[in-house]
Amino acid sequence: MSAELRKGYVSGVNGNMVSVMFEDRVVQNEVAFVHQGKNRLKSEVIRVRGKRAELQVFEDTNDVKVGDVVEFSGELLSVELGPGLLGQVYDGLQNPLERLAHDHGFFLKRGIYLNALKEDQLWDFTPLVKKGDKVRSGVKLGSVLEKIFAHMIMVPFDLSGELEVTEIASKGKHDLTAVIASLRDDQGRTHAVTMKTVWPVKVPIRAYQKKLKPSQPLVTKIRIIDTLVPVAIGGTFCTPGPFGAGKTVLQHLLSRHAEVDIVIIAACGERAGEVVELLKTFPELIDPRTKKTLMDRTVVICNTSSMPVAARESSVYTAVTIAEYYRQMGLNVLLLADSTSRWAQAMREMSGRLEEIPGEEAFPAYLETRIASFYERAGVVLLRDGTMGSITIGGTVSPAGGNFEEPVTQSTLKVVGAFHGLSRDRANARKYPAVDPLQSWSKYESFIAQDKVKAGTAILKRSEEVDQMMKVVGEEGTAMEDFLDYLKGDFFDAVYLQQNAFDEIDEATASDRQAYVFDVLLGVIVKKFSFQDKEEARAFFLNLRQKFVNWNTMPFLSDPFKLLHKEIEAQINSK
Amino acid sequence: MHKTYNEIIQIAGDVITVEAEAIGYGELAEVQARSGVSLAQVIRLDGPRVSLQVLNGSRGISTNDKVRFLKHPMQVSFSDNLLGRIFTGSGAPRDNGPALSENMISLGGPSVNPAKRIVPDKMIRTGVPMIDVFNSLVESQKLPIFSVAGEPYNELLARIAMQAEIDLIILGGMGLKHDDYLFFKDTLEKHGSLAKSIFFIHTASDPTVECLLVPDMCLAVAEQFALQNKRVLVLLTDMTNFCDALKEIAITMEQIPSNRGYPGDLYSQLAKRYEKAVDFDTAGSITILAVTTMPGDDVTHPVPDNTGYITEGQFYLKGGRIEPFGSLSRLKQQVNGKTRDDHRAIMDRMIQLYAQYRETLEKRSMGFRMSAWDEKLLKYGQRFEKEMMALSVNIVLEKALDLGWDILSDVFEPAEVGIKDALVKKYWRKK
């Protein structure tokens, strides 16, 4: 970047938007610093008109004065990438919160920015290429061990064409700033590679061969999702729901149980308390797949609701960029954004200050394209070395009034592959997870055969119809056959779709167990029972339900599990 | 040293504009009008044009009135001298005491680093069974009371304030009726709690802009006390008035409204205040109980809706009682496992039975025949409403749990309540 110092002067302040008269030139979306007294407030150029640029400031703008100096950096808003990201908790601008707390106490004082990665930490580097090798951007030059992963040190993503390795460090300990490789491009220029790189957050990393269609199911261990409305590895899904429906709880469950390598959690504009709970519990929860703590595979980006709004806008980009970085290593990454509505609101606030012509509910006209391009950063990619990596993105949506007919929900539904709509009625009835099985949909395929899933959905629909009918004609006026369909649907919902998050075993069901249990359940759904009267039928299903609920809490294929299975089969066959 | 300007070039709503130099965003100024001196706060800078919201309102301000900038943002004095005192929204004494000017602190400081928060685990006992038993209030929780106008929400706030075991009560009144203000004052005085209370009161007849400052005043003071290891309870009534004041100023400033006239940043504005609720790692805590009146009893109205997304649950006050359905304390799980072994069982089961009672009521009103079980439920429901739900009931948690067992034992057989055998054996009342 150019060494010249470009400056400007504040000419207006409106909330977190500052107008600046600049002298020379500015770059759209470059980072600038507003000098407020001793503070340097980080900001981003978001509009230029004539010699006047508008900046969104990532901090509180109190006491900024007209005439204050603004310094332009020439760099786009970027994140640091390198070993040491896992287990960290960052704010929306990638400030490490633990170290901030250690250095600066209780409060997030403005104008303080720390390096995201500890530069002086030593990492044991193992080269994977040798001098004279030809490489391209994204190719793995070597690796270090980060927690449980071989963290790849790659050719910088912005280099184009074929490059030759002119120097490569030998096996040994290096810090993040040490040059570990030199590469010469086809024009003879040399590029030094360190373990730490930076990348602009709003630009997708594209150092791969091609993007593939997501086809493998992602096992989340949440039965209603995996069976009825599955998510694919590299796919996208959204979870809208009114407050109190359990959006955040569901996301926390996903972050704990989903079968992926890395989880990035973007807590965007939500309660600080929820993040704190996550921060205190994750280091103590053991991931059954790796036997290490969950924190070891997690990065948290948290810009909670009271933290500056502009940083909230950038926090989802920070998260997705880190996700892309790990994807480039051939890992499967799950990005959970909670909540994308707060992100959209941050855009709305800024748009309002810019006095742009508003769209629906005052959201900016570009809301849809922004949401679409964010979710487009998900996907399965074929990397240059033939391995695959993926990012799966799941976002919650907090629709105003719980009404899904609002711009953020609607724009999101257009671009995602699965929709997990949470319903207030289900939450009020304590039916968790409160995903509405009839309203939700998915374009991906489950690991359970399609025709089986269809039979399940059909009985739910039928059950719902009969339930509505019974409200009018009463139980007496309902035919036995219809009544049985009602009971079957209700049973399916109670013992399979609902899961008890407070039970260690029931809270997460692996795919083999889901397939196993679903088959037993299907036996109940398709069977033609004969009962004397409705009372007998009801008692039968209540009893079966109790057995199933107990069954759900037993270790898979354990002796009690097998024993109870026999009892269940015996009961099913008795009628 | 303070520069004075005496040409006001625009007056719109409660916002005035002057041309001035080197003014900081958020800075405070004094407007010397014929009707008296008022504070004003800078809310927009545009070249030389400085827009200020006048705390006392713009009525009677002349275009040649003097505007003197004070070189500091909105502040409030912080010391133990605040205790027992009553102030306006701008921090001027409302009682007969002296004005305070020592140790001034700024309002609306930075947010707490999430890494310095701890997971809350201390219950606040209120003596209200519908809270203590069914939706326990937890230290550092932020919780609104959703209700329609006319409900006894201020009575409920005052009761909780008097009974909660905390060090300090800070009451913020926004658009408070004068008699409600007197009610709070008399109640706390009678109870001897006034000495550990601080009031910031904006009444319905005071200027709108002052209303906006009330939560910030309360929370800035609360934060300082919390840092001194105090456990502070902040009561805010009514936050809907605060939001309406925000709306008024936003529209005056020609901001584009997002939903029913409210500004697009309503969520962030509310969150900035509510998120001050905190349990500090190695210091005190702030608990926020707020009243949010719902226009037209509509929970999807922008104010309750945005509030619900921010707070950790809500209490629905309806018909003079806290409704068990819809009311929720998101933090109750942190505390109700450590009180008494039967707490959770009583909590779950009594509510489920009460839900069945409601269904039975519906059935009865539709003319269906009542079974023996229905009759039991009716008996149970009436007792539950009278002995547990009524706001006049004032008993400690353990007594309330005992009362629960009394009612259950009177009405039902042990097998009918569906509580674990071990607990039934221990607590069931022999007839």
User: Does the fold of domain B76-335 match that of domain B4-73?
Assistant: no
Across the interface, of B227, B264, B312, the residue whose CB is closest to A352 is B264
> Where does the pLDDT of residue B352 fall: very low under 50, low under 70, confident under 90, or very high at 90 and above?
confident
Q: Which two tokens stand for residue A487?
A: 């009971």
CB contact under 8 A, B310 and A269: no
Across the interface, of B23, B276, B308, the residue whose CB is closest to A243 is B308
Residue B118 Cα to chain centre, angstroms: 22
- Residues of A within 8 A of B44 (CB-CB) are 12-14
Summary mean pLDDT of chain B = 92
**What's the confidence (pLDDT) of residue B431?**
67
CA distance B279 to chain A (A): 9
Residue A387 falls inside a structural domain = yes
Q: Which two tokens stand for residue A37?
A: 């007294």
Mutation target among A64, A252, A271, A538 for the B interface, most CBs of B within 10 A = A271
CA distance B387 to B381: 10
- How large is the C-alpha radius of gyration of chain B? 25
Across the interface, of A100, A355, A401, the residue whose CB is closest to B300 is A401
Q: Do B199 and B237 contact (CB within 8 A), yes or no? A: no
Mutation target among B18, B27, B43, B45 for the A interface, most CBs of A within 10 A = B45
CB contact under 8 A, A107 and B113: yes
Do A306 and A379 reside in the same domain of the chain? yes
Mutation target among B69, B117, B351, B373 for the A interface, most CBs of A within 10 A = B117
Predicted confidence (pLDDT) per residue in A64-97, tens digit: 999 999 999 999 999 999 999 999 999 999 999 9
Q: Which two tokens stand for residue B257?
A: 């409204």
CA distance B182 to chain A (A): 33
CB contact under 8 A, B300 and A400: yes
- How large is the C-alpha radius of gyration of chain A? 27
Instruction: Specify the pairing of strand A262-268 against strand B104-106.
Output: unpaired
Do A190 and A216 reside in the same domain of the chain? no
Where in B115-230 does DSSP place strands (E)?
123-124, 137-138, 142-147, 168-176, 197-203
Do A360 and A470 reside in the same domain of the chain? no
CA distance A307 to chain B (A): 6
Predicted confidence (pLDDT) per residue in B169-213, tens digit: 999 999 999 999 999 999 999 998 899 999 999 999 998 889 999
Q: Average pLDDT, stretch A184-205?
A: 95
CA distance B65 to B50: 15
Predicted confidence (pLDDT) per residue in B402-430, tens digit: 999 999 999 998 878 878 788 889 999 88
pLDDT surpasses 60 at A183: yes
In chain A, the percentage of residues whose pLDDT exceeds 70 is 99
Q: For A338, name the nearest residue in chain B, comparing CA atoms only.
A: B309
**What's the confidence (pLDDT) of residue A1?**
44
Instruction: Please list the alpha-helical segments (H only) found in B70-123.
Output: none
- Residues of A within 8 A of B301 (CB-CB) are 401
Instruction: Work out how many CB contacts closer than 8 A connect A with B.
Output: 173
CB contact under 8 A, A100 and B300: no
Q: Which two tokens stand for residue B118?
A: 């701890």
Summary mean pLDDT of chain A = 93
CA distance B390 to B401: 15
- Residues of B within 8 A of A302 (CB-CB) are 114
Of A380, A413, A442, at which residue does a domain stop? A442
Residue A408 falls inside a structural domain = yes
Q: Is A67 helix (H, G, I), strand (E, B) or coil?
A: coil
Predicted confidence (pLDDT) per residue in B283-329, tens digit: 999 999 999 999 989 998 999 999 999 999 999 999 999 999 889 99
Q: Which two tokens stand for residue A253?
A: 């469950």
Across the interface, of A98, A244, A306, the residue whose CB is closest to B111 is A306
Do A269 and A395 reside in the same domain of the chain? yes
**What's the confidence (pLDDT) of residue A122?**
96
Q: Is the dihedral of CA B413, B418, B419, B422 positive or negative?
A: positive
Residue A100 Cα distances to A95, A200, A321, A566, B109, angstroms: 8, 23, 22, 58, 17
Number of H helices, E strands in chain A: 14, 28
pTM of the model: 0.93
Residue span of the structural domain in which A215 resides: 209-442
- Residues of A within 8 A of B47 (CB-CB) are 11-12, 66
CA distance A405 to A410: 6
**What's the confidence (pLDDT) of residue B255?**
85
**What's the confidence (pLDDT) of residue A400?**
87
- Residues of B within 8 A of A106 (CB-CB) are 112-113, 116, 227, 280, 283
Q: Average pLDDT, stretch A55-68?
A: 94
Q: How far apart are the first and last CA of chain A?
A: 79
pLDDT surpasses 70 at A160: yes
- Residues of B within 8 A of A351 (CB-CB) are 264
Do A248 and A370 reside in the same domain of the chain? yes
Do A177 and A218 reside in the same domain of the chain? no
Do A127 and A34 reside in the same domain of the chain? no
Closest CA to A266 of A221, A330, A296, A311: A311
CA distance A91 to chain B (A): 9
Residue A265 falls inside a structural domain = yes
- Residues of B within 8 A of A98 (CB-CB) are 115
Residue A83 falls inside a structural domain = no
Across the interface, of B114, B227, B305, the residue whose CB is closest to A272 is B114
Do A429 and A310 reside in the same domain of the chain? yes
Q: For A305, name the nearest residue in chain B, comparing CA atoms only.
A: B271
Tell me how crowded residue B63 is: count the other CB atoms within 10 A of its CB: 12
Closest CA to A38 of A101, A121, A110, A106: A110
pLDDT surpasses 50 at B69: yes
Give me the residue label for tokens 């629906």.
Answer: A360
Across the interface, of B23, B259, B283, the residue whose CB is closest to A400 is B259
Do A290 and A392 reside in the same domain of the chain? yes
Across the interface, of B23, B25, B301, the residue whose CB is closest to A62 is B25
Instruction: Quote ipTM for the complex.
Output: 0.89
Query: What's A545's domain CATH number?
Result: 1.10.1140.10
Cβ-in-10-Å burial (0-12, 13-18, 19+) of B295 comes to middle
Q: Which two tokens stand for residue A156?
A: 């910088």
Number of domains chain A contains: 4
Predicted confidence (pLDDT) per residue in A83-139, tens digit: 999 999 999 999 999 999 999 999 999 999 999 999 999 999 999 999 999 999 999
Residue A115 falls inside a structural domain = no
- Residues of B within 8 A of A272 (CB-CB) are 111-112, 114, 117, 275, 278
CA distance A69 to A8: 6
Q: Average pLDDT, stretch A397-414?
A: 93
CB contact under 8 A, A304 and B111: yes
Q: Which two tokens stand for residue A105?
A: 């106490």
Q: Is B291 helix (H, G, I), strand (E, B) or coil?
A: strand
> Where does the pLDDT of residue A2 fall: very low under 50, low under 70, confident under 90, or very high at 90 and above?
very low
Residue A403 falls inside a structural domain = yes
**What's the confidence (pLDDT) of residue A3?**
54
Q: For B120, name the nearest residue in chain A, comparing CA atoms only.
A: A273
CA distance A428 to chain B (A): 7
- Residues of B within 8 A of A105 (CB-CB) are 113, 116
- Residues of B within 8 A of A60 (CB-CB) are 108, 110
Q: Average pLDDT, stretch A2-10?
A: 81
CB contact under 8 A, A342 and B267: yes
CA distance A501 to chain B (A): 13
Q: Is B263 helix (H, G, I), strand (E, B) or coil?
A: strand
CB contact under 8 A, A305 and B268: yes
Topology (CATH level 3) of domain B76-335: Rossmann fold (3.40.50)
Residue A416 falls inside a structural domain = yes
Q: Average pLDDT, stretch B164-170?
A: 92
Do A568 and A475 reside in the same domain of the chain? yes
CATH of domain B4-73: 2.40.10.170
Do A321 and A341 reside in the same domain of the chain? yes
Residue A88 falls inside a structural domain = no
Domain ranges of chain B: 4-73, 76-335, 343-427
- The 3-class secondary structure across A466-535, one letter per residue, is HHHHHHHHCCCCCCHHHHHHHHHHHHHHHHHHCCCCCCCCCCCCCHHHHHHHHHHHHHHHHCCCCCCCHH
CB contact under 8 A, B46 and A280: no
CB contact under 8 A, B44 and A12: yes
Do A253 and A177 reside in the same domain of the chain? no
